[in-house]
Amino acid sequence: MKLNSYSKKSAKRDLLELTDLSPDEFNRIFRLTSQLKKKPFQQNLKNKVMGLIFTKSSTRTRVSFEVGIAHLGGKSLFLSPNDIQLGRGETFEDTARVLSRYLNGIIIRTYSHQEVQTLAEFSSIPIINGLTDEAHPCQVLTDLFTIHEKFKTVKNKKIVFFGDCKNNMAHSWLLGASLSGCHLVLSGHPEYKPSSVLWERAQQLAEKHKSVLEWIEDPQEAAKNADVLYTDVWTSMGQEAESIKRKKDLAPWQINSRLMNLASKNAVFMHCLPAHRGEEVTPDVFESKQSIVFDQAENRLHVQKAIMSLFVS
Ligand code: CP
Ligand code: NVA
């Protein structure tokens, strides 16, 4: 039997992946982010209640969303699946339709991207993806804002993503860079390439928005003249059983000082965190002056406040 879905009847917007935003909206979010950074305490979410459904661990995403909601005069409810009936098998379709009657928006972090799409389809309120196995849009939007802050533009900046190029971060980077006019290079072991379906989708966007996407397997070649050297953990949440193989396969793509020295002289090191020092990055690079990882982490707060201000009404 066909279930009633609400989203088609409402004008609400969801942020499930970065293609849900246009390049103009990226700029609108960045302008508002800069304003909110200067004047953090506003009432954009006054009388609004946001739910956070997290089935995976989180430090930055959970805390920056909850703090951001408080700064904007709203309230947050942390909904662990162990506490709500979702954890006992209530469907995403029913959860969506019930929570839409109480809340003004939901931030969700979980494994399956499909479940988040279902939540969005059956909700009449905005759904914001706080990370799935496929995408981490809030992080990459923040990273683009942070690059913009450092270099005054993201256009034509050479950003090299090293390591696991088929994880959620690499996927969101492919879409985010394609929409932003950047030069994104992915560099990793050939077994860790993004799917050809995603690559082609990103290439089409890149052509439209004058962005450049490249796969360069050799890490030294990839790092040459880069503006940003970026990495993420080699083993994402849920992949722990593959950890030993991943460490062995991806070792040549570790960001170390030799690789940093091949980049442009003003290059920065970025990482979405949490980091595993000695694996994807050496401790000296992580702690170096070129490392802007904590600026990135801080900016999650400001960018997400801008996203909620525009999406939640
Ligand atoms: N970068 C990021 O999303 O961090 P958390 O897993 O701590 O939320
Ligand atoms: N790729 C990582 C990102 C963590 C923010 C993971 O999914 O675990």
pLDDT tens for each residue of 193-231: 999 999 999 999 999 999 999 999 999 999 999 999 999
Q: Which of 14, 133, 232, 249 is catalytic?
A: 232
Determine the pLDDT at residue 2.
72
CB contact burial 54-63 (16+ within 10 A = b; e otherwise): bbeebebbbe
Q: How far is the CA of 133 from the centre of ligand 1 (A)?
A: 13
Ligand 1 mutation pick, 273, 296, 300, 303, max ligand atoms within 8 A of CB: 273
Residue pair 249/223 in contact by the 8 Å Cβ criterion: no
Q: Is the pTM above the cut of 0.85?
A: yes
Annotated catalytic residue 24: no
Determine the pLDDT at residue 305.
98
Measured N-to-C along each axis, helices 137-151 and 293-311 cross at an angle, to the nearest 10 degrees, of 120
Annotated catalytic residue 109: yes
pLDDT mean across residues, the chain:
97
Ligand 1 mutation pick, 52, 53, 56, 59, max ligand atoms within 8 A of CB: 59
Q: How far is the CA of 50 from the centre of ligand 2 (A)?
A: 23
Annotated catalytic residue 218: no
243-267 pLDDT, tens digit per residue, is: 999 999 999 999 999 999 999 999 9
58-86 pLDDT, tens digit per residue, is: 999 999 999 999 999 999 999 998 899 99
Specify burial of residue 196 (Cβ count, 10 A radius: 0-12, 13-18, 19+): exposed
Q: Which domains does the chain have, with CATH numbers?
A: 18-135+298-311 (3.40.50.1370), 139-296 (3.40.50.1370)
96-125 pLDDT, tens digit per residue, is: 999 999 999 999 999 999 999 999 999 999
Q: Which of 71, 109, 171, 189 is catalytic?
A: 109
Average pLDDT of the residues in 125-141: 98
Q: Is 7's pLDDT higher than 60? A: no
258-295 pLDDT, tens digit per residue, is: 999 999 999 999 999 999 999 999 999 999 999 999 99
Average pLDDT of the residues in 128-132: 98
Q: Is 55's pLDDT higher than 70? A: yes
Determine the pLDDT at residue 10.
72
59 phi, psi to nearest 5 deg:
-105, -65
11 or 239: which leads in pLDDT: 239
Nearest residue CA, atom 3 of ligand 1? 61
- The Cβ of residue 30 has, within 10 Å, a number of other Cβ atoms equal to 18
Q: Is 9's pLDDT higher than 70? A: no
Annotated catalytic residue 136: yes
Among 9-23, 55-69, 148-162, the range scoring the smallest mean pLDDT is 9-23
Determine the pLDDT at residue 3.
74
Distance CA 228, CA 270 (A): 7
Determine the pLDDT at residue 8.
54
Residues 6+ apart with CB under 8 A from 101: none
Q: Are strands 75-79 and 268-271 parallel, antiparallel or unpaired?
A: unpaired
